[in-house]
Amino acid sequence: MAKIIGKFFKIISVLAILTVLIIGILFAVRTYKHTKTVNSYRSDVQTLANQAEIGEYTDVILGIMYTESKGKGTDLMQSSESAYGSRGKISSQQESIESGVKHFAESYEQAKAAGCDLNTAIQAYNFGTKYIQYVQKNGGKNSVELAEKYSRDVLSPGYGNDQQSMYRYMQVQSVFYNGGYLYQNGGNMFYAEIVQMNKQLLMLFQRFQ
């Protein structure tokens, strides 16, 4: 009986390992495809970033693109709201990249002038540049904790969520932080961390592309 139970658990262990390996391979293949698509825009982004004098942050901008669209669709940088104040106004991928680079450049320059860190500029791409002044008044360094306060106390109620309602958001960062939640109408408080992670993925997979 003990041998049968031992064999059973051995089979279960092997199956579990195989399942993890298969999931890992599928994730790697999907990530490779997405990073290859986003990296195909590297030259255009680099040119525009150089013109805006933020060429050293090309990988950050590509990380933003990966986070926003995985390089798919027309509005690659989801920059319609920053450019026009509403969604669905971007007419081409080139316009999206130009608007996205411009938005990040403005966020970066304002964050730099305010004495804030790079992640503040990245988070401001999602929250809006008013977040920069909020960070400046609260230590000058972005953190998930600070971003959560801004999302909960400023952005979310500003767009009608007075009850601080939340919704499911299953990402590694969110799951470990609060079980996987964001505030309704409150932007993405994990945005800077996710962009930085995606930047590393792009740089890693670029070696094989």
pLDDT tens-digit map of 93-146: 999 999 999 999 999 999 999 999 999 999 999 999 999 999 999 999 999 999
Contacts by 13-22 with C-beta closer than 8 Å and gap 24+? none
- Residue 113 lies inside a defined structural domain of this protein: yes
**Domain-located, residue 148:** no
In this model, does residue 11 exceed pLDDT 90? no
Number of domains observed in the structure of the chain: 1
Render the chain in DSSP notation, one character per residue: -HHHHHHHHHHHHHHHHHHHHHHHHHHHHHHHHHHHHHHTTHHHHHHHHHHTT-GGGHHHHHHHHHHHHTT-SS-TT--HHHHHSSTT---SHHHHHHHHHHHHHHHHHHHHHTT--HHHHHHHHHH-THHHHHHHTTTS---HHHHHHHIIIIIHHHTT-TT--EEE---HHHHHHHSSEEETTS--TTHHHHHHHHHHHHHHHHTT-
**Domain-embedded: residue 86:** yes
- Asked, for residue 153, whether it belongs to a domain, the answer is no
Instruction: Supply the pTM of this predicted model.
Output: 0.89
Q: What is the CATH number of the domain that holds 133?
A: 1.10.530.10
Give the CA count within 13 Å in the CB-facing half-sphere of 153.
8
The boundaries of the domain holding residue 32 are 2-138+190-206
Distant-in-sequence, close-in-space partners of 36: CB < 8 Å, separation ≥ 6: 205, 209
Indicate whether 150 belongs to any domain.
Answer: no
Structural domain includes residue 175: no
Check residue 75 and give its pLDDT.
96
What percent of the chain stands above pLDDT 90?
78
pLDDT tens figures, 166-186: 999 999 999 999 999 999 999
**Residue located via tokens 């391979």:** 25
78 in any annotated domain: yes
Is-contact 192 146, C-beta < 8 A? no
The pLDDT value recorded for residue 207 is: 82
Candidate from 25-34, 38-47, 118-127, 165-174 with smallest mean pLDDT: 25-34
Question: Which pLDDT band, with edges at 50, 70 and 90, does 88 fall under?
Answer: confident
Let me know: does 49 contact 55? Beta carbons within 8 Å: yes
Q: What percent of the chain has pLDDT over 70?
A: 96
Cβ–Cβ < 8 Å for 68, 76: yes
Mean per-residue pLDDT over the chain, rounded: 92
Of residues 92, 88, 70, the one with CA closest to residue 80: 88
Inside any domain, residue 184: no
